[in-house]
């Protein structure tokens, strides 16, 4: 009898782990890859692929924002309506943060900082680098969080895919 209880407990724990891997891991992976990519964008020299990926991220985020706002206006459930609206706002904010980060990256490429530059220019340059990383990382965090919120709302009732 004790062994059967142990098996039931182990089965429940395994289900929880697998569900966490299926539901939470993709969003954690998106967050990790986005933050890693932010540092790559800032510290590597200009390449066309960087801007293709960034403009694709802006397009995807803006599209998801529009879809969230549309779902907000189409649903009758007030709880879902507020969640869709909240996710749409976060996607929209992430889009704005990505745009600002691209503009700041462009400005960083235009600056010429060397040993002859004065201390004020160097401080401004590094402050611009830090703020660019911050804007891009916040955009990635808003994107991943909003995607997780929508995933949770859209699959409500299907939280246990293994049952």
Q: What is the pLDDT of residue 6?
A: 62
**Residue 54 near residue 140, CB atoms below 8 Å:** no
For residue 20, is it within any domain?
no
| 125-159: pLDDT as tens digits | 888 888 888 888 888 888 888 888 888 787 766 55
- On whether residue 139 sits in a domain, the answer given is yes
Residue 9 included in any domain: no
* Residue 151 counted as domain residue: yes
The answer to whether residue 130 sits within a structural domain is yes
Does the residue 129 lie in any domain?
yes
Report the distance separating Cα 153 and Cα 131, nearest Å: 33
Instruction: Provide the pLDDT for residue 4.
Output: 63
How sure is the predictor about 162, in pLDDT bands with cuts at 50, 70 and 90? very low
Domain with 136, as residue range(s), is 47-157
Q: What is the pLDDT of residues 51-83, one digit of tens each?
A: 788 888 899 999 999 999 998 899 888 888 898
116: buried, middle or exposed (CB in 10 Å: 19+, 13-18, 0-12)?
A: exposed
Whether 38 and 136 have beta carbons less than 8 Å apart is answered as yes
Specify the DSSP element, H or E, that contains 40: helix 25-43
Tally of domains within the chain? 1
Q: Look at residue 22 and tell me whether its pLDDT is greater than 70.
A: no
The answer to whether position 26 is within a domain reads: no
Question: How far is 65 from 45, CA to CA, in rounded Å?
Answer: 30
């Amino acid at each position: 009898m004790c062994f059967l209880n142990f098996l039931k407990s182990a089965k429940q724990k395994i289900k929880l782990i697998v569900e966490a891997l299926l539901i939470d891991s993709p969003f954690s992976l998106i967050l990790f890859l986005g933050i890693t990519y932010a540092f790559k964008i800032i510290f590597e020299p200009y390449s066309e692929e960087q801007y293709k990926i960034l403009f694709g991220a802006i397009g995807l985020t803006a599209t998801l924002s529009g879809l969230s706002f549309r779902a907000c206006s189409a649903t009758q459930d007030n709880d879902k309506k507020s969640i869709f609206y909240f996710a749409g706002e976060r996607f929209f904010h992430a889009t704005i943060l990505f745009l600002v980060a691209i503009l700041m990256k462009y400005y960083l490429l235009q600056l010429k900082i060397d040993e002859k530059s004065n201390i004020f220019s160097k401080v401004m340059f590094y402050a611009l680098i830090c703020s660019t990383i911050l804007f891009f990382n916040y955009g990635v965090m808003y994107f991943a969080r909003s995607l997780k919120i929508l995933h949770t709302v859209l699959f409500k009732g299907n939280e246990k895919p293994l049952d």
